[in-house]
Amino acid sequence: MAEPFRTVELENGLTVCFYDASNRYYGDFHRVCIEVKIEIPLQLMRLSEEQLKSAEKLKAPLSFATRLERMGVAGDELQRIRDALVDSFLTSSSDYFTKPDFVRQLLKKKLSERSRPILFRN
């Protein structure tokens, strides 16, 4: 993946990375698409011994990812909309990411997703 166009370090040591995955879809109209990723290093997890053992079961770094999108953006508005999406995300989400139990809750969610059976439809 390309380098992030913006990174923000939160007060708890987590780093939020923003990647531009935008594309032009018709004439001068674009889909602004920003991929947001937070990888959580073990040293920042502050987990109990039991929780650390659970985290090791994931066999991958603990991370959070989401996507921000806006359709129909004119070419001359790309930078403004991209900045507005990032600023809005940080304003609405940074309190959530800096909660003391954010990492534990994320780990719990990832482990429950991993243990769910996969259902197949005919």
Predicted confidence band of residue 75 (pLDDT cuts 50, 70, 90): very high
Any domain includes 103: yes
Any domain includes 1: no
Number of domains in the chain: 1
The yes-or-no verdict on residue 57 having pLDDT over 70 is: no
Strand stretches in the chain, DSSP E? 6-9, 15-20, 23-26, 29-40, 62-74
Determine the pLDDT at residue 33.
97
- Domain of residue 83 covers 6-114
pLDDT digits 0-9 by tens, 13-44: 889 999 999 999 889 999 999 999 998 876 66
Any domain includes 82: yes
Q: Residues 95-118: what's their mean pLDDT?
A: 78
Q: What are phi and psi of 74, to 5 degrees?
A: -70, 150
Any domain includes 79: yes
Reported pTM: 0.81
Worst-scoring range by mean pLDDT, 22-26, 47-51, 88-92?
A: 47-51
